Amino acid sequence: MMTKGHLICSTALAAVLLILGIEPLYILLVIWASLAIDIDHALNYIFIFKRYNIIEILNYFKRKVVLKNSTAPLPVFIFHNYETLLILAVLSWFFPFVTYILAGIIFHMVLDWCVLPAHRYPPVIKLSLILVLIENRRRRKGYYKW
Ligand SMILES: [Zn+2]
């Protein structure tokens, strides 16, 4: 899902949380996390292209990228995965405010998973960092070349 979609959905979520009586500071934390998680798209772009122009980064992700049936390495999103969720879940045990960050990221990822098939991305790219790294290693070794 693009940033505009996340912004609209996060605003709706903020309204619901406000109605439920959640403190505004915690609501801001949920919304911040649900929007900030996408910074890993920019980090992926910078890692691949070694370029830091914010306009180029935004334009790159506005384009539809078809990855299905491709043998090119998958994009690596360091925050869009269950490993990050597990780390945050453990941290929230010790630091309760992290629960709100976790909630924001889960909200974001559920929205992403809803639109993932439409973008024709393999679901694994926003599911598991470990599986993406294993898959990319296989692709780099020419596993799919016959
Ligand atoms: Zn996302």
Asked whether residue 31 is assigned to any structural domain, the reply reads yes
Cα 95 to middle of ligand 1, angstroms: 24
| Residues 8-35: tens digit of each pLDDT | 999 999 999 999 999 999 999 999 999 9
* Helix or strand (DSSP H, E) at 126: none
| Residues 30-50: tens digit of each pLDDT | 999 999 999 998 998 898 889
Asked whether residue 146 is assigned to any structural domain, the reply reads no
Cα 17 to middle of ligand 1, angstroms: 21
Cα 82 to middle of ligand 1, angstroms: 13
Asked whether residue 134 is assigned to any structural domain, the reply reads yes
Asked whether residue 111 is assigned to any structural domain, the reply reads yes
Number of domains in the chain: 1
Instruction: Report d(CA 42, CA 18) in Å as an integer.
Output: 31
Cα 118 to middle of ligand 1, angstroms: 14
